Structure 1
Amino acid sequence: MQKPTLLILAAGMASRYGGSLKQIQKFGPSGETIMDYSLFDAIRAGFGKVVFIIRKEFAEEFKAIFEPKLKGKVEVEYVYQELNDLPKGFTVPEGRTKPWGTAHAMLCAGQKINEPFIVINADDFYGKDAFEKACGFLDKRVAPDRYAIVGYELRKTLSDHGTVSRGVCTVDANNHLTGITERTKIYPENGKIVYEDETGKHEVPVDSKVSMNFWCFHPNIFEITKQQFTEFLRGHGQELKSEFFIPLVADEFIRSGEGAVDLVPTSSQWFGVTYQEDAPFVTNSIQSLVASGEYPSNLWA
């Protein structure tokens, strides 16, 4: 059976991180980036190809970092997310500089992927268990009418340095995703987890499952996404800051009755660098995982 593909969204602007390229910041004991750990986990879980979605302006620097590490270990492809990569008949509105969003980024990779695949963020640490569970789903259960999202325990995704926004998942009796509700300003308080909105402060169950943008797809998602993107542009294509997100595609897939999205729970601890102050925690967390034997001190030695 054909090995699945890892699609990494690495074209983000890193705005909350001071504009720096956090995708290539070194956190591991031998200079590894967060992405290195995702790549390592994916390869050992059984993925056969990686497709990077990056920006052209730092492509050469990016390739110089990752190609020597991955040579001979996994097939590598690159995709550039361009504002003018639009369906026939649509143009970029004057003054727009913001990318079209994660679903558009995924759509840009359609010509490089013909097999089941996962989509992840470049700057999130997802953990070994998550990749193993995702690979198992793609191997045994994915279908044109069955996708999946990897669900993380909310308490394992918080930051000590500010509030976070999380998509809180709801499921039905069959563990099929029924919706993702975006909750902003989430933080721990007095042993509980709360979020704030315009109506005040509300508690979120500590065992809630949240989306960290880790999706498992059949390749037919590209045609579905293309159709939805056309509709999106008809309604929002002249807006300067509108964005077309993967959860919007999944929600329409469910709502229209085209299929179901399973929630695949993981025990992994998520961490990332939402704020610059998160960086020492990420470094210390990786050092602890290396010390416990979860990862070698040099991933690519």
Structure 2
Amino acid sequence: MKPTLVIMAAGMASRYGSMKQIQQFGPSGETIMDYSIYDAIRAGFDKVVFIIRRDFAEDFKAIFEPKLNGKIKTEYVFQDMDAYIGDFSVPADRKKPWGTSHAILCAKTVVNEPFAVINADDFYGSDGFQKAYDFLTTQCDEKTYGLVGYELNKTLSENGSVSRGVCEVGENNNLVAINERVKLYRENGKMVYEEADGSKHPVPEDAKASMNFWCFHPSLFSFLQEEFMTFLEQNVSDPKAEFLIPYTADRFIKTGRGNIKVIPTNAQWFGVTYKEDAPVVTENINNQVKSGSYPNGLWK
């Protein structure tokens, strides 16, 4: 059974101010997602599941169905606020979705095989997808999940500090924890992160970053459903509380359910957080096309 690619594209893009998931960056109008899907097909994935907002569905399908038809199977699921909440009700002041772990839970009905999860607006590179495919087809099971770990020094920005989840890796490449470093940058040639009090701490050059590229067995869904109930019991009245993948990954490890392997990749990651990042992404993609890594026109 070939693995599936799940793409989280239901975010509200509040910081960016537009639906960056469908912004065109490639020379023939490709989105960042197009490159992820192209790399996934090359690696061996045969289905893509888009997690999107219901009110955006028709526009979204109109963009992707014509170019993907005949190339890979497609499914669409909606991250509705009332999905999988059991006897709870959505508070009136809740405006944003419940978070990335809830988004994945919404794909439960269409995913029955090992699967990878990515963000819609991140460029992950072909090596990341090949490594994910290899892991999903040879190692992934109920007790062994994976996280594609990017070289942290390849995810920094030249335009200032970044926030990154830095992986703490133990024996046998098992993930111990993801430490959120909210102000990370290079100073005098060395990587450092800065605490709220202004103190600075070095970061190893070989550190791995989590860019939300996960590899899961379908057993994840029942675990997420259990954890979501606990989350709602504790947080349903907090309009800003989010049920996030790093939190549930940590729970998976800490409750003894299994291990999460950090799968190293040397791929170059880049992404769009703010509008100012867009020209850099366009330039990076154009350079990849010029080098022959991608055709000029992915779907021609």
How does the TM-score come out when normalised to structure 1? Answer: 0.97
CA contact (8 A) 1:160 1:278 kept: no
Higher mean Cα deviation, 181-190 or 101-110? 181-190
For structure 2, which runs of at least 5 residues remain unmatched after alignment?
A: none
Q: Secondary structure at the match of 1:174?
A: helix
Q: Give the Cα separation in 2 of the matches to 1:183 and 1:29.
A: 34
* Offset of residue 48 of structure 1: 0.9
Q: Is the 8 A contact 2:121 2:272 kept in 1?
A: yes
Amino acid aligned to 1:217: F
Contact 2:114 2:217 (8 Å CA) reproduced: yes
Aligned partners of 2:94 and 2:239 also within 8 Å: yes
Does the CA contact (< 8 Å) of 1:144 and 1:220 recur in 2? yes
Q: 2:132 aligns with which of 131, 134, 137?
A: 134
Match of 2:189? 191
Aligned to 2:178: 180
Superposed displacement of residue 162, structure 1: 3.2
- 1:67 and 2:65 correspond: yes
Deviations, residues 139-162 of structure 1 (Å, cap 9, x unaligned): 100010000000001111112223
Q: Structure 2: how far apart are the matches of 1:103 and 1:53? A: 12
Q: Percent identity?
A: 61
Measure how far apart 1:238 and its partner are.
Answer: 1.2
SS at match of 1:7: strand
Q: Which residue of 2 aligns with 1:48?
A: 46
What residue is the counterpart of 1:156 in the other structure?
154
CA contact (8 A) 1:54 1:81 kept: yes
Gaps of 5+ in 1: none
1:273-292 matches, cutoff 5 A = 273-292=272-291
Q: CA RMSD in A?
A: 0.9
SS in 1 for 2:298: coil
CA deviation profile, 1:230-271 (whole Å, cap 9, x unmatched):
011111111111000011111111111111100000000000
The aligned residue for residue 11 of structure 2 is 12
Helix, strand or coil: the match of 2:51? strand
AA at the equivalent of 2:42 = R
Which TM-score applies when normalising by structure 2? 0.98
Residue 216 of structure 2: aligned partner: 217
**After superposition, where does 1:191-270 map in structure 2 within 5 Å?**
191-199=189-197, 200-270=199-269
Letter in 2 for 1:279: A
Give the 5 Å matches for 1:24-39: 24-39=22-37
Q: Report how far residue 88 of structure 1 moved.
A: 1.8
Aligned-pair CA distance for 1:84: 1.4
How many corresponding residue pairs?
299
Q: CA deviation at 1:91?
A: 0.9
Partner of 1:111: 109
Secondary structure of the residue that 2:91 maps to in structure 1? coil
Moved segments of 4+, more than 4 Å: none
Question: What's the secondary structure of 1:111's corresponding residue?
Answer: coil
Map Cα deviations across residues 76-118 of structure 1 (whole Å, 9 max, x no partner): 0001101111332111112111110000000000001000000
Instruction: Determine the C-alpha separation between the residues in 2 that align with 1:15 and 1:164.
Output: 18
Q: CA separation in 1, counterparts of 2:278 and 2:85?
A: 39
| 1:181 CA drift (Å) | 0.5
Q: Is the 8 A contact 2:84 2:225 kept in 1?
A: no
